[in-house]
Amino acid sequence: MTKTTALRTSIDKASSRSRMLNGQSKPQHGATSVHPLLRLQQCIGNRAVARLIQAQLTDVVQQERGGIKGVQRKDDAPAKSSCGSTSLAGTVGPSDKRLNGSVASVDLDAKAFGNTSKLGADFRFGACKVDKNWRFYLDALVAPIASRVQPETFKINVPNASDSIVTKESYPDIVNDLRPTASGTFSISCGGNKFDDKVTTYSRRKKYWNYQFVVDHEASHRKHWMEMYRNELVNAESNIWAHSLPASEASDAVGAVAKANATLTKHMTDAYQNTCKTYAPKQESREYDDGAPQYQKLVDDIEARARKEKWK
C-alpha cells in the first residue's frame, strides 16, 4: 500500500463580508487585532507556538464535538478509508493558519465592527492500490477560519451599567445605541451566491458599543460555520473514500490522484457550497438574535441604574 501525498488543492474564497443594505448603521466593525498566539510567536520560537496552537485547536475540537451531528457517521459508513486512514473531516477544527502555514487573513471594512472569514478548506488527496483499484483519501485537511474585531477605542466602550461612562447626561444615548431593536438587511456573499438576511435585533452603536459583545458575536460565527462545514466535509470525505479507479489507469499514486483530482475536488467544493446554503441566508440574524439578550440586559441594567440614581 503506497501512501502518497499528491496534488495540493485549495478552495480559495475571499473572506466573507456582510454589508448592511438599508439599516441605519453598518454591521460589526477596526484596526488589526493581533491574535495572542501570533503575538506570542513574535516573541518566542515557532516550534513552541506550533505546539501551543495545536493544543488549542484540539481543545476547540473537543469543546465543539459535544452537540455536533457532523462527527457522527452513518452506521453503515466505514470508519476508515480503504487505504487505512481514519477520518480527518470528523475532527477538523477551525485553524488560524492555512495548510501552507500562512496566516488566515481576515478583511475588515473600516465601518464594520468585526468580521469572520469563512475560507474554503485546504486539502490534499492521497491514493493507494487495493487489489485491482486505486482508492483515495484525504491526506491533509485544514479549515482556516479567523475573526477580526475593531480595537476597543473604535467606539466608546460601555462594558457594564456601573461604568463611569454611564452618567445622567450620557445614558439616554447609550441606551438608544445599545437597545437591540433596530432592523436592517444584510447582503451576504458566500461561495459566489448572494443572500439577503433581514435582522430585527440589531443595535445601532453609532457612538457607544460593547466591545466584548462583538468579540462574542464573531466567536459565534466561527463556531456555527465550523459546525455546518464539518458536517459537509464528513460527507465529502465519505465520497472520496468511495471513489475508485482501475489500477491500469495510473502507474503510481501521484498519477492516480492527478486522474481523480477533478472528481475528488468537486466533492470538496460541493461541501463548501452546501455549507454556504445552510449558513449564509441567516448568517447575521442568527448571531444578532442570539446576542440580543446580552444587549437587552445591559440596557435594562443601565435603566435600572438611572432610576436608582434618580436621573429620570
Residue ranges in contact with Zn ion by CB under 5 A: 28, 284, 287
Give least dist CB 214 to Zn ion, A.
9
Give least dist CB 104 to Zn ion, A.
17
177 vs 287 by CB, closer to Zn ion: 287
232 vs 284 by CB, closer to Zn ion: 284
Give least dist CB 281 to Zn ion, A.
14
3-state secondary structure 247-307: HHHCCCHHHHHHHHHHHHHHHHHHHHHHHHHHHHHHHHHHHHHHHHHHHHHHHHHHHHHHH
83 contacts 69 by C-beta, under 8 angstroms: no
134 contacts 250 by C-beta, under 8 angstroms: yes
Give least dist CB 211 to Zn ion, A.
15
Give least dist CB 286 to Zn ion, A.
9
H helices present in 199-252, as ranges: 211-242
148 vs 243 by CB, closer to Zn ion: 148
Tell me, what amino acid is at 114? G
171 vs 202 by CB, closer to Zn ion: 202
- Cα 275 from Cα 224, distance rounded (Å): 10
222 vs 243 by CB, closer to Zn ion: 222
Question: Beta partners for 134?
Answer: 129, 245
Alpha-carbon dihedral angle through residues 225, 127, 86, 37, given to the nearest 10 degrees: -50
Sheet containing 182-190, strands listed edge to edge, beginning at the edge strand earlier in sequence: 18-20, 182-190, 193-202
Q: Give residue number: closest CB to Zn ion.
A: 28
Give least dist CB 179 to Zn ion, A.
18
- Cα 292 from Cα 294, distance rounded (Å): 5
28 vs 231 by CB, closer to Zn ion: 28
118 vs 267 by CB, closer to Zn ion: 118
First CA to last CA distance, the chain: 78
Copy the grid coordinates of residue 287.
Answer: 448571531
Give least dist CB 145 to Zn ion, A.
13
